Amino acid sequence: MKRLVFLDESVRLIFHAVLVGSIYLLFVGHNQPGGGFVAGLVAGAAMSLRYLVGGLAEVRRISRFQPWTIMALGVAISTSTALAPLSRGHSIMASMSTSFDLPLLGHIYASTTLPFDIGVYMVVVGLVFMVFEAFGEDPDAEADEVPEADEEGATR
């Protein structure tokens, strides 16, 4: 398929913008509409844009990691965050937090809910990746036993 370079580039531009937006949503989630799910899904929606222009190969170009790695890491982060308080004699999932002052940013409040939400975000992003892995293959390419896309996926 011949790509229109300019379309390609603009989609990537939009993609990155949306990605930044999604990370913003992730971080403000505690106080405004947003949060891990929403942010992850928005990132996923952005990925579907990339898919539309370049198919599975284009989606695979987004990340160096395998989708299941992202997902598994997400689950690992969230569950570890959940487990951590147990070792301190708290209940599972108990949020542990500290607040401190940084010179430039002012008063910072940090709590374990954030890594938990990051885990959620990663899982959702990973899921979207996997969905494209599952359904995204070109029907024509799939007829051949060794499609190029796969080679590419494997080397990445």
Residues at the interface with another protein (CB under 8 A): 25, 29-38, 41-42, 44-45, 48, 51, 66-69, 71-76, 78-80, 82-83, 86, 89-95, 97, 109, 111, 113, 116-117, 119-120, 123-124, 126-128, 130-131, 133-137, 139, 142, 145-146, 150, 153-154
Minimum CB distance to another protein smaller for 5 or for 105: 105
What is the nearest approach in angstroms of another protein to the Cβ of residue 93? 4
Minimum CB distance to another protein smaller for 5 or for 49: 49
Other CB atoms within 10 Å distance of the CB of residue 57: 20
- Say how many Å lie between the first and final Cα of the chain, rounded: 21
Other CB atoms within 10 Å distance of the CB of residue 29: 20
What is the nearest approach in angstroms of another protein to the Cβ of residue 111? 6
Instruction: Name which of 22, 33, 49 is nearest 118 in CA terms.
Output: 22
Minimum CB distance to another protein smaller for 106 or for 139: 139
What is the nearest approach in angstroms of another protein to the Cβ of residue 150? 7
Instruction: Name which of 58, 46, 59, 48 is nearest 18 in CA terms.
Output: 46
What is the nearest approach in angstroms of another protein to the Cβ of residue 103? 22
CA–CA gap between residue 129 and residue 11 (Å, rounded): 17
CA–CA gap between residue 86 and residue 55 (Å, rounded): 45
What is the nearest approach in angstroms of another protein to the Cβ of residue 73? 7
